[in-house]
Chain A
Amino acid sequence: MKGILDYVPGSSFLHRLNPLVKLLLAFVLCAACFVTGNHFIVLGVIALNLALALSAGILGRALRMLRSLLKLSALLFLVQIFFVREGATLLALPLGICITDLGLSFSLLFVLRLLAAALPLGLMLSVTQTSDIPNVLVRRLGLPYQYAFVLGTAIRFIPLFAQEMAGIMEAQTARGVEFDTGNFFKKVALLLPLCAPLLVSSVRRIEGGAISAELRGFYLRGRKSGYKDYPFALRDLCALLGGACALALAVLF
């Protein structure tokens, strides 16, 4: 099963950036959305993200991410819009609920931020091999290997978990449990008893992984153990400058 956050192989500009720079760039773009109060800047960040996705050949996936976030955003938008009471009333509804211009603008900004902040992280994970993230932290920032390993394992386990869960649900559907119902709440209720197999298979897997890592000399690994070096190149500098510009724009406006 191919998850929406799995690595997509490629050799685009984004793919070849230093993983550390990619990480930084993603955070800078997220930060830019939150320091600015300007809708257009946030929209600009979304557009920039889509352009970057296009350059890396994963535009389709970026759009899918947006679409999957859309439902949640719509819900949040509705909740927000009813709770802001400042500003001029645009529409008065019964029960004292009213929609104000400030509320509208605020909710819109909120939702746009959510979309704009989720995209760079998703894109970053799509163009970076997961093992590169902890490795570069060890190599370039001197993070102790054990901590980096925990981080790397945690990242790697997300898709594994999802896959395992899908497999378990499949197995239970095949024995007649109604997971193919459209009712969300019913589905959740059915899911609870399945946490047992999920936990057991995860613990089994983690235990197996830990033992096998130990047998292969885990405690001997250090900063110099990785075979990959992560040099910085001119393109990394350009990318950082680009990110800095975006952040500066966000701060100024």
Chain B
Amino acid sequence: MLEFERVFFGYEGQSATLKDLSFAIGEGEFVALLGENGAGKSTLCRLANGLLKPSAGRVLALGMDTKQVKTSLLARDIGFLFQNPDRQICQNSVRAEILFGLEIALADEAARRARCEEMLELFSLSGERDPFGMSRGERQQIALASVLARAPSLLILDEPTTGLDYRECMAIMGIVAQLHQKGTTILMISHDMEIVADFAGRALVLSEGGLIGDGPVRRIMRDEALLGRASLLPAQIPALGARLGGPYAEAFSVEELLSLAVGKKGEKERAEA
């Protein structure tokens, strides 16, 4: 789906921002991209859909070399949600905004309308409102709605939940998780380790432009030293599990920890009786 082969990249007049990155993301994976501020996460994502071209190495997106294909063509199958939703929103009603994104993807007018209504309903948005007067969280939802409307097979999310309250956060992540279940491949940047723990299956850890970790979220989450190098703290439950040690070390969610703890207690009580 997405493949980086020994990729180097540096912005004009700067030393290398990304150094020797190699990894491959397969179809249907949900990958979290972690790293400190300025690690190069957003830059990596821009390379993934061809907005930036590698200075050395190769990026294959959907099997195509990004150096040889136009980004606007790749964009038909790669959805990209930017850190700043305002750059994307350019129409003066929510409906027009979603339709604008669809114009390029769907030729049929009626199909476009139907798809647009579907998205409005999915996100519980009102089509008539002017996006510019809406809150940041709502604008984020509109931007995401117009990206998802085109049903991309690879979805890249640059901090989709930063600055949102818990409910809006869960609303967005719920939709993303649904898409993932239907087979969409997802690459998501996030600083929120709880969300990463809850939703992602695999994590890439970037630090100062280099890939320092790549593996299942369960394993990465337990590696406090690795996360520390990228200025991150593991999610609370795995951290607690790791501190408790013994049988709890494997606990990853509240439910798992609880069942381990209660299970143990239950056993003890039975033994005493």
**Which residues of chain A are near B37, meaning CB under 8 Å?**
none
In angstroms, Cα B104 to Cα A177, docked, is: 7
Contact of A175 among B13, B91, B147 (CB under 8 A): B147
Known: A175-B75, A177-B104. A197 touches B86 (CB 8 A): yes
Q: List 16 A-B contacts (CB under 8 A).
A: A2-B13, A2-B14, A168-B90, A172-B88, A172-B90, A174-B51, A174-B71, A174-B80, A175-B88, A176-B150, A177-B72, A181-B72, A196-B92, A197-B89, A201-B86, A204-B86
Q: Kindly state whether residue A78 has any CB partner on chain B within 8 Å.
A: no
In angstroms, Cα B84 to Cα A172, docked, is: 12
CB-based closest 3 A-B pairs? A176-B104, A171-B87, A176-B75
**Which residues of chain A are near B86, meaning CB under 8 Å?**
197, 200-201, 204
Q: How large is the interface on B (under 10, 10 to 19, 20 to 34, 35 or more residues)?
A: 20 to 34
Q: Kindly state whether residue B108 has any CB partner on chain A within 8 Å.
A: no
In angstroms, Cα B70 to Cα A165, docked, is: 20
**Which residues of chain B are near A170, meaning CB under 8 Å?**
46, 51, 82, 87
**Which residues of chain A are near B87, meaning CB under 8 Å?**
164, 167-168, 170-171, 197, 201
- Distance from B262 Cβ to chain A, minimum over Cβ atoms (Å): 48
- Distance from B263 Cβ to chain A, minimum over Cβ atoms (Å): 48
Q: Kindly state whether residue B123 has any CB partner on chain A within 8 Å.
A: no
Binary flags per residue of A59-102, CB closer than 8 Å to B gives 1, else 0: 00000000000000000000000000000000000000000000
Query: Chain B residue with minimal CB distance to A8?
Result: B13
A176, B72: Cβ atoms closer than 8 Å? yes
**Which residues of chain A are near B141, meaning CB under 8 Å?**
none
Q: Kindly state whether residue A178 has any CB partner on chain B within 8 Å.
A: yes
Q: How large is the interface on A (under 10, 10 to 19, 20 to 34, 35 or more residues)?
A: 20 to 34
**Which residues of chain A are near B14, meaning CB under 8 Å?**
2
**Which residues of chain A are near B80, meaning CB under 8 Å?**
171, 174-175
Query: Chain A residue with minimal CB distance to B49?
Result: A174
In angstroms, Cα B51 to Cα A203, docked, is: 27
Known: A173-B51, A174-B51, A174-B80. A193 touches B90 (CB 8 A): yes
Q: Kindly state whether residue B146 has any CB partner on chain A within 8 Å.
A: yes
B88, A171: Cβ atoms closer than 8 Å? yes
**Which residues of chain A are near B105, meaning CB under 8 Å?**
176
Contact of B12 among A2, A167, A173 (CB under 8 A): A2
**Which residues of chain B are near A179, meaning CB under 8 Å?**
72
**Which residues of chain A are near B234, meaning CB under 8 Å?**
none
Query: Chain A residue with minimal CB distance to B105?
Result: A176
**Which residues of chain A are near B75, meaning CB under 8 Å?**
173-176
A180, B90: Cβ atoms closer than 8 Å? no
Q: Kindly state whether residue A194 has any CB partner on chain B within 8 Å.
A: yes
Binary flags per residue of B1-27, CB closer than 8 Å to A gives 1, else 0: 000000000011110000000000000
- Distance from A102 Cβ to chain B, minimum over Cβ atoms (Å): 43
- Distance from A109 Cβ to chain B, minimum over Cβ atoms (Å): 34
Q: Kindly state whether residue B101 has any CB partner on chain A within 8 Å.
A: yes
In angstroms, Cα B92 to Cα A171, docked, is: 17
